[in-house]
Structure 1
Amino acid sequence: MSAIAQHDPRPLLVAHARSFYERGWMWGTAGNLSARLPDNSFWITASGCAKGELTPEQFVQMSLEGKLLTQTAAKPSAETSIHQAVYRLFPDATACYHVHTVSANLASRLTAAEQIRLPAIEMLKGLGIWEANPTVHLALFSNHLQVSEIGAEMLARFGQKPPQIPACLIRDHGVTVWGRSQDEAKNRIEAMEFIFQYTVAAKSIDLPLI
């Protein structure tokens, strides 16, 4: 527990959740945020909590193996397996953010493939792409009622071939990003949302995504 006392990530998670809620990205109880601790456990939003009204007490601490480490009646988010997959796959990730936006859901409908090409726009720099006119694809996963199946597919696919960018999209569900800090994860969520809005708008006027 000493690591928690030294650095509790929950207050910043609460602030970011409120910011996303106010922008319509985490309405109601949708979405979830997590942050990893030095001992590789992580705090994640508890199930069924309104994201615009979160408190630090509405998080549960989990091990990478899926063991609940806090003594509480609260249940972990149904999407905990997605966060587990990210932290198992990417050792430098200390934050994982998953939100539900209209533009992300619409973008996920633009292809039946397992990836979607992103427009070569300036905002890709926010995802670590510093190239002129890059060809960048975002991994796209099918949605499953049992979210553990999504986490398993992430482990299988990314375990064989790492993604180009620190993000993935679940069809008709939402986007997940990860970062080396909570602020980096927040910036990447914002970058992805801009890219989704651009992609959907470009599609509506048949603008080529070159």
Structure 2
Amino acid sequence: MTLEKQEQLSQKLVETGKYLLANQLAWGTSGNISARLNDKQMLITASGTEMGSLQPNDFAFVNFETGDWEGDRKPSKEVPMHTGIYQVRQDANVILHSSPFYTTLMASSEEPIVSELFVETMYFLEDVAYVDYFHPGTAELGEAVKEQAENGHVLILRNHGVILFDDSFSDAVMRLETLEMACRMIITAKSAGIPLTKIPDQVVRDFLENARYKPRKRIWQK
């Protein structure tokens, strides 16, 4: 990848971080984001950076096969989660990790996140997987995420938040927005005593299999 393309990618990460903060999808230093550079390297936010004030030099280059890094800034402690995903998902080009309010509330409960609610949830929340709690930044958390990454694009981190991935910035952000919207709906409906009506399974299958929104992104197989 040329220097120009690296700069473009870092700028896209900067813009994404600002968007997440502005739309209450991240807060403070609680999240981290990365993008694939090539078949061995990723660009990830540096340790201690705030999503809303990222600068082009607030990133580190990390070899996601070895964990080695280079650059002026130390990478986020959550490198193990990101490397785990890139190792097993060749279709992962962008990874977002954050703790939005409603998503984290759901992650701290036994309430299930359902996808049969509306158009975007059917598509973007089709394959939600869950990861048990491990301390942030640990190898154990990285291994757990790596294992579950083969089961879904959206990984709910118990009592922590979410990490998700996609092949583009726009779809990764849309997944996060859809997740937070769905969690907000579920919690609001439950607190108001309003029962949610799920879309029937056969309708969901028709929607996904016949690309009535856009082409389906299936679980990647090694």
Structure 1 runs of 4+ aligned residues shifted over 4 Å read none
Q: Which runs of 5+ in 1 are unaligned?
A: 130-135
Aligned-partner SS, 2:68: coil
With normalisation by structure 1, the TM-score equals 0.82
- For 1:175 and 1:127, locate their aligned partners in 2 and report how far apart those are by CA, in whole Å: 14
- For 2:69 and 2:128, locate their aligned partners in 1 and report how far apart those are by CA, in whole Å: 35
Q: Deviations over 1:32-78 (max 9, x none)?
A: 110001243000000111211110100001001211032x1x21111
Match of 2:47 in 1: 47
Aligned-partner SS, 1:192: helix
Match of 1:75 in 2: 74
**Is the contact between residue 81 and residue 147 of structure 1 (CA under 8 Å) also seen in structure 2?**
yes
How many residue pairs match? The answer is: 194
> Are the structure 2 counterparts of residues 29 and 63 from structure 1 closer, same or farther at C-alpha, using a change threshold of 3 Å?
same
**Is the contact between residue 143 and residue 172 of structure 1 (CA under 8 Å) also seen in structure 2?**
no
Deviation at 1:87, TM superposition (A): 0.6
Map 1:55-204 → 2, pairs under 5 A: 55-64=55-64, 65-70=66-71, 72=72, 74-111=73-110, 116-122=112-118, 123-127=120-124, 129=126, 137-158=128-149, 162-163=150-151, 165-204=152-191
With normalisation by structure 2, the TM-score equals 0.78
Deviation at 1:202, TM superposition (A): 2.8
Moved more, 167-176 or 195-204: 195-204
> Are the structure 2 counterparts of residues 51 and 6 from structure 1 closer, same or farther at C-alpha, using a change threshold of 3 Å?
closer
> Are the structure 2 counterparts of residues 40 and 81 from structure 1 closer, same or farther at C-alpha, using a change threshold of 3 Å?
same
- For 2:74 and 2:197, locate their aligned partners in 1 and report how far apart those are by CA, in whole Å: 42
Q: Which runs of 5+ in 2 are unaligned?
A: 199-222
Provide the alpha-carbon RMSD of the alignment: 2.2
Q: Percent identity?
A: 24
> Are the structure 2 counterparts of residues 183 and 157 from structure 1 closer, same or farther at C-alpha, using a change threshold of 3 Å?
closer
> Are the structure 2 counterparts of residues 48 and 146 from structure 1 closer, same or farther at C-alpha, using a change threshold of 3 Å?
closer
